[in-house]
Structure 1
Amino acid sequence: MTILITGFIFIVDLNTNSTVAVAGIYTVVILYSWLLPGKYTSLYTAILCTVLMVIAAIQNDEMADKTDNLSGMNMGISLVVIWTSVTLVFIAKNSFSALENINQQLSEKSAELLEKVMELDIQQEELFANKRNLEILNEDLVVKNRELERFTSIASHDLQEPLRTIGNMTQLISTRYYANIDDQGKKILDYVTAATNRMTMLIKGLLDFSRIGVKRVIQNVDCQNVVQTLIIDLDTLLKTSQSKVIFNELPIVMGNPIELRILFQNLISNAIKFKKKDVPAIIELTAKDQIKHVEFCIKDNGIGIDQSNFEKIFLIFQRLHKIEQYEGIGLGLAYCRKVVELHGGKIWVNSTIGVGTSFYFTLKKSL
């Protein structure tokens, strides 16, 4: 179609002397070429129109007449009109192409945004379901806590009462009839008495363990004062065992003062209990300030712990040594782990047999 129109204009141009008017018609063709496919279609059309216009001018002797300034001016204006049109069409076509690219990008972004919105809707539904599950778990936890409280009440009365009876009977037998019992009977009676006392200690320890975290108050706790008071209370044990506790300035943390005292007391008491034979225990307390918490370290020069038992020692009623070697019921470090976890921290150990042990735990900073 463009070629037919251009040919028609060329025929008109051959039969007229109005070059500027013909250039205007050529401009229409150039504008129409914008609609045709191809990036340089308008440019090729302009070259074709220019060539045809020059041929028509030669045929009309406009270029041959050197003295006709008006004809030369008409020819120059015609070329300016044609190439100005080409320039404008080229700029418009590039701008239109850029707008199409932008529109395509916006469409892609809209599709991505829609996909994100759909994902957020799915996540919101999952969050709502998780929230509901959490509410159900919280309700179950309340029920379990009530059951635990009832168990604690039963253990503190019904379970201890038979033990008290057994303990009283064995004590009565020992007081009145111990001299009349043979050696085998005395040995059996001693076993029963020791087992009764040990069972009483286990039940009491279990009760104390279950009560940790009940009706607790969180406040700023000065660890320096806690440890200083604890050292005074342990003065007799420290002097008897020739042990020494070294600590510098300890920070203030968020926590429950009673529970934190239990934490420090159990770790320091363990360091004293598991010291090397005939070697005074040297216990060092340090605190390292982290971004959101404080990392404490209680280091000793005791007998050490095998690496295979690093996790086991924090479990309830777990002992690494016989009762004849070291007294206790295996609850001290379980207490420590529960206290630290209730305070939002973690506790771990690093130890070498025969060298010593370092207990690390983290507590939240004070407000």
Structure 2
Amino acid sequence: MKRSSPEIDNDLKGAFFENAYSPFVILNRYMDFVDVNQAAVTTIGIAKENFIGKNILDIFPYLEGTERYNSYKDVMKTGISTGFDELMFKGENAEIRFMSRAFKIGDYLGITTLDVTNVINTIEKLKTAQTSLKEVNENLQRKNKELEDFSYVAAHDLRAPLTNLKSLLQMVLNSDPTSNDFVPIVDKMKVVTKVMCDKIRALNEVIAIKSNFSEDKEEMVFSEVMSKIKLSNSKEIIDGRTIIKEDFSSCPTINYNPVQLQSILQNLMSNALKYRHPKRKLSIKITTKEIDGKLTLTFKDNGLGFEQNLADKIFRLFKRMHTHVEGLGIGLYIIHSVINRNGGDINVNSKVNKGTEFVIQFK
């Protein structure tokens, strides 16, 4: 049986309802709707005649048993107003976020709301902009640090051969071209000049990679990329009697820049071939899998390895763990730069005469 309620005072109705911009409703002690204003009708999308006399749980069944519903009943009992912030309502015409306040008016419960959708959206946009600005700032700080480190290493590593070349030139100027000492000095100048040229060429390569860093990505198949790398290193692979085991079954593809992915795998392969152990066949194992929600590539070899306490230095520019073969120490630096620039991470585990394992987590 529908419970009836007396008509609410017209003065209260006029003051509280009809001129309100936001939705307002009045309920009796049974939580039945006594009246609603036009803003509530428009927002909720239910005709006014379908409100009046209906219980609040008929219109909003999800309120049953909630803190909000119980608070409304407490207001009727105690007369103490209560409020809620950042509520969500999905009507036929819109999705709004609002603040709600419930208060007692005579023998009735008044509920007034304030649409704060635009305010909250603006705040969220500001938070997003702030986060974006923070990321840009952190990126600039990282780039500045990289530039400082790069400049320091470049200057430091070029200073020594330049000083040597200057000394050798002075020796040439002070020596007799017909003496037996002249030729060895010139030969040393050739060696030092080559070292300088190689390092300058390497620096140019690094600068080119950093300057032309592309964020263009496409779906890459690991097995196809590795096939190209094995083909380009076929002579070294055969010479080292290399055994290569691949398992890309868990994560066969990756969305990545093609040139950068090939550079990463090529440098890892080149290092493994270059620093293989002379007393055993080179064995390389490459796998991909998902770890902690991130695509992870593991590249493991049984080569010469190095002391694990040097692991934090291996990715530095011109840093080399072994000097018995030719190299400038830029391959791992490039790998590290590319992976970090893409938001990933690379770690290395190694043991002397046992081998090295690189673990790359892509973003």
- Shorter-chain TM range is 0.5 to 0.7
Q: How does 1:51-62 map onto structure 2 within 5 Å?
A: none
**1:315 and 2:316 are equivalent in the alignment:** yes
TM-aligned CA deviation for residue 186 of structure 1? 3.3
TM-aligned CA deviation for residue 103 of structure 1? 5.1
- Alpha-carbon distance in structure 2 between the residues aligned to 1:226 and 1:236: 18
**1:234 and 2:243 are equivalent in the alignment:** no
Q: How does 1:279-294 map onto structure 2 within 5 Å?
A: 279-290=280-291, 292-294=293-295
TM-aligned CA deviation for residue 109 of structure 1? 5.5
Q: Which SS does the other structure have where 2:329 is aligned?
A: coil
Q: How does 1:154-165 map onto structure 2 within 5 Å?
A: none
2:248, 2:289 within 8 Å by CA — same for their partners in 1?
no
Q: Which SS does the other structure have where 2:272 is aligned?
A: helix
Q: 2:198 matched to which residue of 1?
A: 201
TM-aligned CA deviation for residue 279 of structure 1? 1.8
- Alpha-carbon distance in structure 2 between the residues aligned to 1:231 and 1:346: 24
1:212, 1:259 within 8 Å by CA — same for their partners in 2?
no
Q: 1:340 matched to which residue of 2?
A: 339
Q: How does 1:206-285 map onto structure 2 within 5 Å?
A: 206-212=203-209, 214=212, 216=214, 217-249=216-248, 251-285=252-286
Q: 2:23 matched to which residue of 1?
A: none
TM-aligned CA deviation for residue 331 of structure 1? 0.9
Q: 2:184 matched to which residue of 1?
A: 187
Q: How does 1:1-367 map onto structure 2 within 5 Å?
A: 98-99=74-75, 104=80, 107=82, 127=127, 130=130, 137=137, 182=180, 184-212=181-209, 214=212, 216=214, 217-249=216-248, 251-290=252-291, 292-321=293-322, 323=323, 325-364=324-363
- Alpha-carbon distance in structure 1 between the residues aligned to 2:347 and 2:321: 17
Q: Residues 101, 357 of structure 1: CA spacing in aligned structure 2 closer, same or farther, 3 A cutoff? A: farther
- Alpha-carbon distance in structure 2 between the residues aligned to 1:215 and 1:135: 18
Q: Residues 139, 320 of structure 1: CA spacing in aligned structure 2 closer, same or farther, 3 A cutoff? A: closer
- Give the alignment's TM-score, normalised by structure 1: 0.53
Q: Which SS does the other structure have where 2:362 is aligned?
A: strand
- Give the alignment's TM-score, normalised by structure 2: 0.53
Q: Residues 102, 276 of structure 1: CA spacing in aligned structure 2 closer, same or farther, 3 A cutoff? A: farther
1:301, 1:356 within 8 Å by CA — same for their partners in 2?
yes
Q: Which SS does the other structure have where 2:264 is aligned?
A: helix
Aligned partner letter, 1:223: F
- Alpha-carbon distance in structure 1 between the residues aligned to 2:135 and 2:295: 32
TM-aligned CA deviation for residue 299 of structure 1? 0.5
Q: Which SS does the other structure have where 1:313 is aligned?
A: coil
Q: Which has the higher contact order (CA 8 A, sep 6+)?
A: 1
Cα-Cα RMSD: 4.5
Structure holding more helix per residue: 1
TM-aligned CA deviation for residue 222 of structure 1? 1.6
1:244, 1:283 within 8 Å by CA — same for their partners in 2?
yes
TM-aligned CA deviation for residue 283 of structure 1? 0.8
Q: Residues 186, 239 of structure 1: CA spacing in aligned structure 2 closer, same or farther, 3 A cutoff? A: farther
1:300, 1:357 within 8 Å by CA — same for their partners in 2?
yes
1:246, 1:283 within 8 Å by CA — same for their partners in 2?
yes
TM-aligned CA deviation for residue 298 of structure 1? 0.7
Q: Which SS does the other structure have where 1:275 is aligned?
A: coil
- Alpha-carbon distance in structure 2 between the residues aligned to 1:128 and 1:284: 42
Aligned partner letter, 2:183: K
Partner deviation per Cα, 1:188-218 (whole Å, 9 max, x = no partner): 3232212211221212211211222515231
Aligned partner letter, 1:283: I
TM-aligned CA deviation for residue 181 of structure 1? 5.7
Is there any run of 5+ residues in structure 2 with no aligned partner, and where? 1-72, 86-98, 101-115
Structure 1 window deviating more from structure 2 (303-312 vs 224-233): it is: 303-312
Structure holding more strand per residue: 2
Is there any run of 5+ residues in structure 1 with no aligned partner, and where? 1-96, 174-178
Q: Residues 201, 124 of structure 1: CA spacing in aligned structure 2 closer, same or farther, 3 A cutoff? A: same
TM-aligned CA deviation for residue 288 of structure 1? 0.9
Q: Which SS does the other structure have where 2:277 is aligned?
A: coil
Q: 1:15 matched to which residue of 2?
A: none
Mark the structure with the bigger radius of gyration: 1
Aligned partner letter, 2:188: Y
2:241, 2:282 within 8 Å by CA — same for their partners in 1?
yes
Aligned partner letter, 1:199: M
Q: 2:51 matched to which residue of 1?
A: none
TM-aligned CA deviation for residue 125 of structure 1? 10
Partner deviation per Cα, 1:31-54 (whole Å, 9 max, x = no partner): xxxxxxxxxxxxxxxxxxxxxxxx
Aligned partner letter, 1:233: S
Q: Residues 189, 232 of structure 1: CA spacing in aligned structure 2 closer, same or farther, 3 A cutoff? A: same
Q: Residues 126, 201 of structure 1: CA spacing in aligned structure 2 closer, same or farther, 3 A cutoff? A: same
Partner deviation per Cα, 1:274-307 (whole Å, 9 max, x = no partner): 2222222111111113465321111111122222
TM-aligned CA deviation for residue 336 of structure 1? 0.8
Q: Which SS does the other structure have where 1:329 is aligned?
A: coil
- Alpha-carbon distance in structure 1 between the residues aligned to 2:357 and 2:287: 11
1:306, 1:353 within 8 Å by CA — same for their partners in 2?
yes
- Alpha-carbon distance in structure 1 between the residues aligned to 2:278 and 2:229: 24
